[in-house]
Chain A
Amino acid sequence: MPEVSYANLSEIERALTAINNNIATVNSNVGALSDIQQTMAYKQDAMEAELKQLSEAFADFIAQDAKHKNLQLAETRIGNLRQELQIKFGYYAEIRRMATGILQGVDAGLVGNETIKSSTEEVMIKAPGYWLAPALVALASWVRDDRPTCDQAISESLKRDDYKATLFFMLLTRRLGRNDASLAWLERYFMHQNPRDLDREFITVLEAIATGVFHPASRIVMMKNVKNWLDQLTQGDQFINEQKNQWIKYFEASKPAVQSDKYPLLKQYAKNWVVLENSLRTAKTHEILNNHFSSIISSGQDFSTTVKAKLDEILTQLVTNFDDEELPLQKKVRLNQLIIDKDGDKDAAQAMLDAEMNVFQEKVDFLQMLTNAAFNPEAAGVTGVTQALAVSISQPWILEAHDTFTAQSRKMFPQTVELVIDGFATSTKDGSDEKEQLSKQDKFYMSELQKGLGSVTFPMAGILIGALVGIAGFIFGLVGGLISLAIGGVMIWNNLRSFKNKKELVRTTIEGRRKKAREVLRGCLAETVDYRKELAIEDSKAEAVRELLNSITPQDFSSVSQEIARNIM
């Protein structure tokens, strides 16, 4: 049995050692395995990054490819479209070139009658729908004094596109100095205009009339039409109120900036300083407005040269721009051109085309056009003369807007200045009540003093203890009593002295505060007097603006501009 147990143990020991070894091996294997796993994780990350890069590169490639294809497509299409345009409307372009040439020729008197005749008649045959063709025939027949043909051609041109033909002849006759004809065309042009929906070039025509580039009689035509339009537009409140609100906003925006340190004490001590300051700023707007309107109506510069150039520009555009018929095709050509310009980026090209088209579709009502010209003549593309005309026509609602603006600001003016100085709150109307205010303030500090003194308590406990100590010594006989009496007396005296000191401190502190606050109050009242004075002066300037606005009328303006017109003619 003992042998067996010995043999058995060694067996087991060996077996255990073996197991141990095995476990160690497994352990090391597991370690190796986790190393492998880590390496694999790294590799996976790297692969993911590469894959992402690849997919990005691929997306880029696809986008590039699409752009490239768009570009190629656009290039092919633009060729085809141009060809189509050439086939369908090729002659239109030729007419435009010819029109420009004839206009220049007529200007310089260089082109012979025969040349004009042969070329223009050919035009009629080749461009059956284009209004410019008969217009050119009319021009040519006019040059050679052939009235029947001229009349016929004009009526044909008007039949094809009444508006453009009218504008063309109006500008042309003006350029050639045919005043009567120009006036007749102008009247027709006005008939084309809808005051609720004016064409873009109307403002330039208006400007030309205002500056005297057209015959002075044109002003009467304009005024007559403008008056009619105003009657139409001002029947309801809507159009006028729209403009009125814009003017009120404009006035509000004209407020001067904050003037920082004129009223330092009010700024610090007036509870309603924000309103006070805002009221003053609003009141100060009137002077700015007065200067603004004075400068508008007194501007008497000669703008006729720039206006003439602008009118010619319209004529050139009229003659060189595409006709409505060709527009769809021309639009496609433009879109493809933009795609090429944008390196195949279709969306960007479309956005640009939309923006370009919108500019030409912009239409405004007459009142809005006047407001635009009056607010910002540069942006509206007009000069000071048209600005003055716009202001004079808009005068009734500018005046209304100014009245409202003024009343609104006056309603806001605070009736009192609310002061809070060192806890003392008071209000003054105009700062003239210094005596009452100071006595009110004195009363306030009296009560402050009462309160302060009231808070210093009488040292009853200390005195009682002193008294007790004083009496207590007598238990030990007379000497002890005398000593303790002295000690108690000192205690009581100390307590009373400190009580008196505390009260004195309260008195001096409050007196110090009172003196300081008194100076501040007097300063505030003085500033209030100045403030009220300044506010009243600035506010009264509103009446001056009102008078100025009242003095502007379209009739007055036309007499001023007739001066200018006479100078130009």
Chain B
Amino acid sequence: MGKILFKAEDTRLKSEASSNNLMQKGFRSDRDILKKRSAKYVELFSSLDTKSLSDVQGWKQLMEAVYEEFGTAELENLPLGIVSKCFLGESYEVHILDLSGSQIIAHFKAGEAMPNDFEKARTLAMHNAYAFVEVYSDKLVLVRADGSAVKL
């Protein structure tokens, strides 16, 4: 009997947990998506170079900044990655910071194709008006140096 009761309890807890999950995964208002990015976050991602990423500490710091900025560590609500101008050398155009698990930085030369989701951000990432572009599966969010965001 006790066992059965425990089981019932268990399912209830589970369903509650899943509904919470749904709420978090669900609709996000444009106002949330377009909220001004913090100066710290913008600064960090505008000044990305290979050096800061070479050591583990740099990575950790970056990911923490991302979690803090979006108030969550749930991958569904985070950008797939961030595309920005690359200053490695003249032939390099842009780089991707891939946040979707693999967490790597990749640099791309002019004419070199980027992974599918990211290619659409290329032109805008190269435009001087934007500091960087957050790439989501269903949208792009362009972030200006002052932290203001534009959804596309």
Contact = CB atoms under 8 A, between A and B. Distances in A.
The finding on whether chains A and B are genuine partners in a shared complex, rather than unrelated, reads yes
Interface of A: 234, 236-237, 240-241, 400, 403-404, 406-408, 410-411, 413, 415, 429, 542-543
A404 B30 contact: no
Contact of A237 (B31, B127, B130): B31
B29 interface: yes
B31 A234 contact: yes
Interface in B132-152: 140, 142, 148, 150-152
B66 interface: no
A445 to B, nearest CB: 24
A245 to B, nearest CB: 12
Contacts of B105: none
A400 B30 CA distance: 11
Contacts of B140: 407
B100 interface: no
Given A404-B151, A404-B152, A411 B123 contact: yes
Given A404-B150, A407-B152, A542-B129, A415 B123 contact: yes
Contact of B150 (A236, A237, A403, A415): A403
A467 B30 CA distance: 89
Nearest to A403: B150
Contacts of A543: 129
A408 B140 CA distance: 11
Given A404-B150, A404-B152, A407-B150, A241 B129 contact: no
B114 interface: no
Contacts of A410: 123-124, 127, 129
Among A408, A411, A415, A543, chain B packs the most CB atoms within 10 A around the CB of: A411
A236 B127 CA distance: 31
A413 B148 CA distance: 22
B65 interface: no
Given A241-B30, A410-B124, A415-B123, 19 more contacts: A234-B31, A236-B29, A237-B29, A403-B142, A406-B129, A407-B124, A407-B130, A407-B142, A407-B150, A407-B152, A410-B123, A410-B127, A410-B129, A411-B120, A411-B123, A411-B124, A411-B152, A429-B110, A542-B129
B34 interface: yes
B83 to A, nearest CB: 12
Contacts of A240: 30
